[in-house]
């Protein structure tokens, strides 16, 4: 599949309910892997493959008792975001608050990693372990790092995640294509 600059694909419809693909359950944990490349390797390209909980929606289904009405909590899992570092960049973001004043706690990815050629195929993966509240990130089958602590909140166990793939840019808005060669997701038994 090719996603042109400015485009994106999600595994749920705009109504934010399960589509034809199953959601990834936070209470059981999961692994998701993206094999991707770009039409060219420009540092301004901002391709992203990531996960969000379907509960974070206009209905505010990410508001949980005993929090006050309108207070939301959710986990964002960025499996890879291009153009922020020379190489791969994966991170977790724990969000909370009342819109538009959200607070976030971010994991500590390696921001000084080796440059990769994004015009070549690469595999980016994340595995959520709900028992230990840890997310392991892989790049081309090697562990990048493990996120834990405040950036992987307990609330993620109550959430159900969907896939997002999009091709954006940082400033220059140069056209390119994000090629999705393969997406694989599973829930361990």
Residue 106 banded pLDDT, cuts 50, 70, 90: very high
Tell me the pLDDT band of 111, cut-offs 50, 70 and 90.
Answer: confident
Angle at 58 between CA 128 and CA 103, to 5 degrees: 60
pLDDT of 141 above 90: yes
Strand (E) positions, the chain?
2-4, 8-10, 24-25, 30-38, 45-53, 71-81, 91-98, 101-106, 122-129, 134-139, 142-147, 160-169, 177-186
User: Which domains, ranges and CATH numbers included, belong to the chain?
Assistant: 2-186 (2.60.120.200)
- As a whole-number percent, the residues of the chain with pLDDT over 90 amount to 90
pLDDT for 19 beyond 90 = no
- Global pTM reads 0.96
C-alpha closest to that of 144 among 120, 165, 161, 125 = 125
pLDDT band at 171 (very low <50, low <70, confident <90, very high): very high
Is the pLDDT reported for residue 99 higher than 90?
yes
> Which of 18, 16, 50 minimizes the C-alpha distance to 163?
50
pLDDT value of position 56 = 97
pLDDT band at 83 (very low <50, low <70, confident <90, very high): confident
Report the C-alpha gap between 23 and 54 in whole angstroms: 8
Q: Cis omega before residue 152 (within 30°)?
A: no
Query: Rounded distance, CA 62 to CA 74, Å?
Result: 6
Q: How confident is the model at residue 189 (pLDDT cuts 50, 70, 90)?
A: confident
Distance separating alpha carbons of residues 155 and 20, to the nearest angstrom: 25
Determine the pLDDT at residue 53.
98
Contact 175, 3 (CB under 8 A): no
What is the per-residue pLDDT across 25-66, written as a single tens digit (0 to 9) for each?
Answer: 999 999 999 999 999 999 999 999 999 999 999 999 999 999
pLDDT tens, 146-157?
A: 999 999 999 999
Contact assessment for residue 5 and residue 174, using Cβ atoms and an 8 Å cutoff: yes
Rg (CA), the chain: 16
Structural tokens at position 132: 């230990």
């Amino acid at each position: 599949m090719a996603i042109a600059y400015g485009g994106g694909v999600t595994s749920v419809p705009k109504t934010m309910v399960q589509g034809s693909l199953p959601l990834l359950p936070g209470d059981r944990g999961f692994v998701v892997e993206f094999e991707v490349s770009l039409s060219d390797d420009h540092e301004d390209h901002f391709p992203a493959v990531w996960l969000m909980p379907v509960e974070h929606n206009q209905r505010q289904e990410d508001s949980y008792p005993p929090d006050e009405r309108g207070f939301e909590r959710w986990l964002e899992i960025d499996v890879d975001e291009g153009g922020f570092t020379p190489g791969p960049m994966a991170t977790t973001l724990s969000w909370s608050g009342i819109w538009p004043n959200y607070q976030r706690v971010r994991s500590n990815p390696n921001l000084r990693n080796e440059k990769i050629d994004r015009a070549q195929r690469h595999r980016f993966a994340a595995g959520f372990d709900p028992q230990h509240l840890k997310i392991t990130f892989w790049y081309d089958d090697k562990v990048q790092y493990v996120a834990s602590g405040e950036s992987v909140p307990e609330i993620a166990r109550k959430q159900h995640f969907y896939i997002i793939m999009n091709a954006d840019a940082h400033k220059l808005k140069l056209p390119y294509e994000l090629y999705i060669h393969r997406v694989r997701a599973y829930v361990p038994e």
